[in-house]
Structure 1
Amino acid sequence: MARSRRRTVVALTALLTVAAGLPGTPAPAAPPPAAVPSRAAAPGPERWSVDLAVAGGDDVNVAWRSGRLRLADPRPTARTRPAAAGGPVAEGILLSAPRTLDRPATRVRAQFAARTGDGGTAVAQVRGWRTRGWTEWRDATEAVFDAPVSRIQARVVLTSSDAASEATVTGLTLAADRVATTAVQPAAALRYRVYATRIGLVGGTTANGHTVRTRDHFAALPTRRGLSPRGTGDYTVKVCTTSGSRCEYAPVWDVGPWNTRDDWWNPASVRENWKDLPRGLPQAQAAYQNGYNGGRDQFGRTVRNPAGLDLADGTFWDGLRLTDNAWVDVTLLWTGGGARAVVGSGPLNLRTGASASYASRGLAATYAHIPVQCYVTGQRIAGTYRTTTRWYRLVGGTYVSHAYLSSIYGGTVPRC
């Protein structure tokens, strides 16, 4: 029997805004018309078209042909699907260059033209930069910025279930402006206890296009909302053994385990799927322990373990010194505030004092963004970026040398 083919043309206009209102202006006590000051019209939105050309080396499994963005290879294989998820779909991501806005914005409108069918999907997402770093990625229909942002970045995610699927995009236009809002003061970064598994899969490809290496150092979460672009640690987790004896700061470079749309740390109002689950409970854990969703993941597979986090081999074996899958404490660092240091050369030892003679209590992977509390003077270190006696104390009481840190942002670091 000939296969039925379904086509859907999508033209989406979405309003992404911080929930806030403009205060009203009290009516004057009957002054003459000339006495009423004129109110300048609010500036119009800043508009631009996102360049869908594939360039720069940070795009994954996408191609621009005949005026359409499409999957370069729509067949689900080890090189076209996220390594940690291992789902039955091929995936591709186009990452646009960040756009510096003419003026800070809290609202973005998106016009998105896509064509999908037979198991193909196309999603436009955005994120915004504020002082303490990037917001999480949000689908164009639900993004919320918690403070004015100075830069906007967009990405397009395409998926297909087989070579016959269609998922193409012809255009994406964004418009940013500002409405009244109250910035949210960040609390401490969110921290949960979840079950972690080892990724392995050396030679496979992660969702951000990284090729998995032997004893690699990165993590995977079952959503793209906290997926760092390749070669960055924009979204970094701190993973510790439940005893607290070993920790590693690792960038999130892959999507999985099990699901690809389960940001389990977000409240129901924001969470992509499984909104009836308690905050902090991964869907795979609920499926494995309680038979939630018939004990199956989003792809219909029987869930064989309760994992809500995957760890690359180096993070698993060397950072935490685990010998088997285990419960761990994970901190989602981008959900908190404070100054951050970027590890330019790692994995970097987390020392118990400001000298290489002190014991190591874990590692900080290359590109990880680590929260720094204050600095002290310690052993002089000749490192990748500088020779210095400055050491930074991290949350939790461990220390790293400034010699291996490429940059610091998000606030001033005081002396301890």
Structure 2
Amino acid sequence: MTRRYLFPLALATVLTAGLATPAAAAGDAEWRADLTTVDADDTGVGAHDGAIRLDRAAPTPASARAAVRTGFLLLEPHDLGAPANAVAATVESTVPAGAEVAVDVRGALGGDRWTEWVEARPDAPAVLPRAVGTVQVRVALTAEKATPEVRRLDLRAFSAPARTDGVTAEAAGLSYRVYATREGLVGGTTANGHVIVSRDHFVALPSRRGLSAKGTGTYSVRVCASNGRCEWAPVWDVGPWNTKDDYWNPSATREMWKDLPQGKPEAQAAYENGYNGGKDQFGRTVANPAGIDLADGTFWDGLKLTDNAWVTVTYQWTGSGPAGFVRTEAQNGTVNVRGGATSTASQVGIAANYAQVRVECQVTGQSVTGTQGTSNLWYRIASGKFVARAYVSGVSGATAC
């Protein structure tokens, strides 16, 4: 990433601290983030004199259609030395009106799998759903006009009372019926820095808690239409309508709109019931109940949709059990999902490059050669839907169907 040298702003300094966290104790892991450089994993930010600021060309999340520039500094994973489930953040920053600095934390689950991102707020630490030995921190910067600046970030990991979300996900993951719209916007830039191409394959959800970094599918969904077709695709953008509406999460841990039932997007409530005066978080009148945006390839080729529609979305990272990631030779490639364990079986969907797939079981079928070598094993990733093992990496513990 090109380093940008930006002029400083004469603004008041804001110190954001974990005020509600317990005092540091023996055994807590403490460290200071490196704010001196940015690299290819970072989006829309630049480093100058040991501080991080939004790049002048920072993208506006295409799906949200709101004039809020967004950038992310993704720090290297940090080994805690001992398991912990909470991280407090102290931030020294300059935040002008209309701007925001947020610190997100996630925990490593092994095998390229992570917990969802959880924000470490000024009055509360990020509490993860389980204790982990490695965490990763992401600094999110947003601005309508003048950019915020982060000069120092101190972090502390410790043990806190476990979360009580009150929900146990099925092995396949949480699943809800929501309204889908086509994102389009070819040539635009997504929240994670991906430039949208024709017939692209990804989705947008209205919260950065489930946003994958560019070129990864840590957070992916399975989207199924009423015609029986499904696509597995990574979450690469934030929207539609809102940017802080993780509606798939329990109300108690939902980022905003905590009085809405789990699984109901704020835009749907606003459109159907006049919730929040019929407006989104930006004060815009909601024109449809969309809870997911689909890239053109996902919309047209994966699901064979011709108009906006109600779909069933399964949030893959909320599941448990064996899982892997689709790997194709082409950057924007896809793998056919078949109705049986052979390449001559009917195509019943598509799995996009990088997408995470949950494996129900495996069967022996036609031998196929792909990015992961040659194999006659096929994974069942939904009822009546199979993908060749030759195109899926990282699966461990799959049992016979």
- In the superposition, the TM-score normalised over structure 1's length comes to 0.86
In structure 1, what is the Cα distance between the partners aligned to 2:83 and 2:19? 19
Structure 2 match to 1:135: 115
> CA contact under 8 A between 1:286 and 1:292: conserved in structure 2?
yes
Structure 1 match to 2:7: none
Work out which of the residue numbers 85, 89, 93 in structure 2 matches 1:106: 85
The answer to which of 367-376 and 124-133 deviates more is: 124-133
In structure 2, what is the Cα distance between the partners aligned to 1:291 and 1:267? 22
Work out which of the residue numbers 362, 365, 385 in structure 2 matches 1:378: 365
* 2:394 paired with 1:415: no
> CA contact under 8 A between 2:87 and 2:127: conserved in structure 1?
no
Structure 1 match to 2:351: 364
In structure 1, what is the Cα distance between the partners aligned to 2:314 and 2:272? 23
In structure 2, what is the Cα distance between the partners aligned to 1:361 and 1:70? 45
Work out which of the residue numbers 173, 186, 189 in structure 2 matches 1:205: 189
In structure 2, what is the Cα distance between the partners aligned to 1:336 and 1:273? 23
Name the Cα RMSD after superposition: 2.2
* 2:231 paired with 1:248: yes
Structure 1 match to 2:291: 308
Work out which of the residue numbers 126, 133, 157 in structure 1 matches 2:140: 157
> CA contact under 8 A between 2:127 and 2:160: conserved in structure 1?
no
Distance 1:186 1:292, change over 3 A: closer
**Amino acid paired to 2:157:** A
> CA contact under 8 A between 1:85 and 1:256: conserved in structure 2?
yes
**Greater gyration radius:** 1
The alpha-carbon deviation at position 178 of structure 1 amounts to 3.6
For 1:10-409, list aligned pairs within 5 A. Answer: 10-13=15-18, 44-73=27-56, 80-131=59-110, 133-141=113-121, 143-162=126-145, 165-178=146-159, 187-188=169-170, 189-243=173-227, 245-345=228-328, 346-408=333-395
**Amino acid paired to 1:168:** E
> CA contact under 8 A between 1:196 and 1:311: conserved in structure 2?
yes
> CA contact under 8 A between 1:16 and 1:107: conserved in structure 2?
no
> CA contact under 8 A between 1:88 and 1:299: conserved in structure 2?
no
The alpha-carbon deviation at position 280 of structure 1 amounts to 1.2
> CA contact under 8 A between 1:197 and 1:326: conserved in structure 2?
yes
The answer to which of 55-64 and 302-311 deviates more is: 55-64
In structure 2, what is the Cα distance between the partners aligned to 1:339 and 1:354? 18
In structure 1, what is the Cα distance between the partners aligned to 2:175 and 2:163? 25
> CA contact under 8 A between 1:15 and 1:107: conserved in structure 2?
no
> CA contact under 8 A between 1:195 and 1:326: conserved in structure 2?
yes
- Residue aligned with 1:117, SS: coil
- In the superposition, the TM-score normalised over structure 2's length comes to 0.89
Structure 1: tracts of 5 or more residues without a match: 18-41
The alpha-carbon deviation at position 7 of structure 1 amounts to 3.6
Per-residue Cα deviation, 1:351-374 (whole angstroms, up to 9, x for no partner)? 111100100110111001100122
> CA contact under 8 A between 1:61 and 1:80: conserved in structure 2?
yes
Runs of at least 4 residues of structure 1 off by over 6 A? 182-185
The alpha-carbon deviation at position 57 of structure 1 amounts to 0.6
> CA contact under 8 A between 2:221 and 2:232: conserved in structure 1?
yes
- Residue aligned with 2:104, SS: strand
Per-residue Cα deviation, 1:209-246 (whole angstroms, up to 9, x for no partner)? 11101101000000100001111111111000134x10
In structure 1, what is the Cα distance between the partners aligned to 2:253 and 2:299? 30
- Residue aligned with 2:267, SS: helix
